[in-house]
Each structure stands twice: as C-alpha cells, then as structure tokens.
Amino acid sequence: MLSWPAPLLPTLPGTGPVLKLHDTSRGEVVATNPGPTARMYVCGITPYDATHLGHAATYLAFDLINRVWRDAGHAVHYVQNVTDIDDPLLERAARDHEDWVVLAMRETALFREDMTALRVLPPEDYVGAVETIPRIVGHIEDLLAEGLAYEVDDGTGDLYHDVSQAPGFGAESRYDEATMLGFFAQRGGDPDRSGKRQPLDPVLWRGERPGEPAWAGPGGTAGRPGWHIECAAIALDTIGMGFDVQGGGSDLVFPHHEYSAVHAEALTATKPFARAYVHAGMIGLDGEKMSKSRGNLVFVSKLRGEGVDPMAIRLALLSGHYRSDRPWTADLLTAAEERLVTWRRAVALDAGAPAAPLLLGLRERLTDDLDSPGAIALVDAWAERTLGGGGEIEEGSPGMVGDAVDALLGISLGDGG
Ligand code: ZN
C-alpha cells in the first residue's frame, strides 16, 4: 500500500543516548538495544471511521520512538498494517449501504492525510491485510501441517490455533486465564464458540458466510483471515522475528499482541516475536475512554477542518505521558496553542538562551521512556529565558532549538504551522 510523505527531519549535532522503554512482557522499563537498523511494528487502523485522538496519541508515541532511534544514529525499519478486511468494516459498510472496499479506501486516505498533517514519520512498509492473504494462507497451512491448528467440525470451515500447544502463551500480557477470558470476550474473541478445543483458541481463518467477501483459503476453503495472524504474517514478511518493538494501544495487550506473538513463534519455532511490547494509554472524553463503540470521538480531520493547527493537536497530545490514560479537554488544546505562540516567538529571534543544554535535556527526557511532558517543560523554560532577556545569550541558538524541537518532538515551529 501507499504510505504517506515524510516530513523533513533536521539533523542535530551529536547523537542521543540509548532509548529506554516500558516493556509489557517484562513489566518494567528496559533499554532497547537495536542493531544498526531498529525494527518496529505498530498495529494500524481498521479503516471504517476517521482517525480519532486516541489513535493519534498512539501513533505519536511510536513516532517519538522512531525519532529518538534516528537521533541515536540508527536507521529505522518501521512497519504498519491496515486491517482492510474485518467484521467492523463489513458491519459499518452494511449499515451505511456502502461498498466495504470504497469505505476502506476512503478512510485509509483520510488517515494518511491526518498522519501527514501531524508530521508522523511514515512506515517503510505500509501493508494491507487483503494484499497479504496469499501469504497468510501459506502460514495457516504450515500450522495445520504441524498439527498446531485445526478445523471446527461443523461445516463452517473455521480454523483455530490450538493454544494448548503454544508454550509461550501468556508471556506477552502476563495475564492469568480468568483475565484473558474476560478481555477475549470483550474484545472480539469467541470463548463460547462450540467445537473449539480450548475457549481461548483464536480464529486463524473464518470460512465464507453468505453475503461476505471471501478469498481462496487453506486447502481451498474460501473465507477470510483472522486479525492476529494478519499481523504475524506481515511482521514475518517484513522485519522477521526478534524485532525491537511491537506497539499499539493498551487495548491490544490482550488478545491481539499475545496471539500475534503465539502465531509467529509457532510458525518459526523461535522466540521472541518482539523484544519489547510497548503500549500507549487511552485518551478519554468526559470521563470515558474514547472509542468507536461508545461514539464519543474527537476526530483529527474535524479539528483540522475547524482550522486548528495540527502542531497544536500534536503538542496537546504529547503534553501527557504516552503510557497514561488521560482525558482530552478543550483546555488542553488552548494551552497547546498558547505554548506554540510562545515557542514560535522565541525561535524567531536571532539570539537566545544557549541551545546545547536544552538539546542534552531533551535527549535525556525522551530516552527515559518517552518523557514528553518533561521535554516540553524544558522547551518552556528555554523560551521563557530567551524571551525574558538577561542571562547568557547565544547568537543563533533559536534556530538550533527549532531544529531540535522539530527532529525530536516532531513540532515544526516555522511559519505559524
Ligand atoms: Zn496488529
């Protein structure tokens, strides 16, 4: 699939330190230790609705990882998928009497525009589920041949992964069985499906149902793939096993990331799928998580349509720590708009407070599990000293600070947006 255009990425003097991130599977902040090319897979959208601020916050968090790794001298191989066939997409298309393909294409195009406006570095591989189906089918056939997958004996053609044969099952989320069963039922799983060997077995292939699109599947059985095997297949095809960061919102901890890892580890008979599992918190509105099912969404495209500077949206979302569940409020956006005005006034000057200590501080804050609030506070302090006059003044420092804020935080301070 087509990705989106890359924003300019200024090169900064020197290199940043090692990035430390919270890994869900270890339950602690750990140092990432990528090779010359860092490898990251972030789960993408199901394109049945526009990008809301919860999505945006997630992709901004992983954009910071991308930027911090590049600043530390690594190349980054970033992969993101598009779940362009799944139940919610078909349900929305049916509700609106629309072709599901048209709906998916339109919402994916809008997502690209939102990511471009927010200055998110694009993935090197932006991969759709539909275009991956032949390779997904091959992987499922491999699992069947190994005796690790089975067909439910009711004529549906539905195929499941037998998790009782997956020794690593549970290692990613570290949840006990009761917790897994609860999230599985809440988040699209089918623990009560009859004919399965275990309630927690995940679907690999859903046999064709009347009125639904279908493709040639394992052993010729028509149908469509499950969501978890889609991400496992795309990651294996692009960055392989043992990549540095598997990312997404915290609602993907279980079942999605657990099962993607289990599928890939079964297919390759190696571990781990990812070296760290990193999860972004949820954005709330009026006391509830922002989600499609609740209908309490604020869309990036709607704010942009109202004339809101995308850099203010970005700054407002980064003013909270990526791992914390946090509310979106109008005040948050107003504060970000005011902060942008101040920062832009400061970087437009010819001279200001010294830039090198700020660059050091920004690198130190962001490599500490992406402390963006701490980084923003440092820029605030620099702008205050620069605009207040007095103290040590350095010619040319505002230009360098503008580059640092752009490269590390992704906030462009040129030309009022
Ligand atoms: Zn995924």
- Residue 288 Cα to ligand 1 midpoint, Å, equals 24
- Residue 250 Cα to ligand 1 midpoint, Å, equals 12
- Residue 123 Cα to ligand 1 midpoint, Å, equals 14
- Residue 325 Cα to ligand 1 midpoint, Å, equals 20
- Residue 392 Cα to ligand 1 midpoint, Å, equals 49
Per-residue pLDDT at 89: 95
Whole-model pTM: value is: 0.97
- Residue 395 Cα to ligand 1 midpoint, Å, equals 48
- Residue 229 Cα to ligand 1 midpoint, Å, equals 9
- Residue 398 Cα to ligand 1 midpoint, Å, equals 40
- Residue 139 Cα to ligand 1 midpoint, Å, equals 16
Q: Band of the pLDDT at 415, cuts 50, 70, 90?
A: low
126-141 mean pLDDT = 98
- Residue 231 Cα to ligand 1 midpoint, Å, equals 5
33: its two tokens: 């230790």
Query: What integer best gives the mean pLDDT of the chain?
Result: 96
Per-residue pLDDT at 295: 76
202: its two tokens: 């995940």
Please check the confidence at residue 417 and state whether its pLDDT lies above 70.
Answer: no
Please check the confidence at residue 303 and state whether its pLDDT lies above 80.
Answer: yes
- Residue 42 Cα to ligand 1 midpoint, Å, equals 7
234-248 mean pLDDT = 98
Per-residue pLDDT at 389: 82
277-297 mean pLDDT = 86
Which tens digit of pLDDT belongs to each residue from 14-38?
999 999 999 999 999 999 999 999 9
- Residue 230 Cα to ligand 1 midpoint, Å, equals 7
- Residue 43 Cα to ligand 1 midpoint, Å, equals 4
Find out whether 257 and 285 touch, Cβ atoms under 8 Å: no
Q: What percent of the chain has pLDDT over 70?
A: 99
Which tens digit of pLDDT belongs to each residue from 371-382?
999 999 999 999
- Residue 382 Cα to ligand 1 midpoint, Å, equals 39
- Residue 222 Cα to ligand 1 midpoint, Å, equals 23
Q: How far apart are CA 67 and CA 61, in angstroms?
A: 10
- Residue 305 Cα to ligand 1 midpoint, Å, equals 30
- Residue 352 Cα to ligand 1 midpoint, Å, equals 45
- Residue 249 Cα to ligand 1 midpoint, Å, equals 10
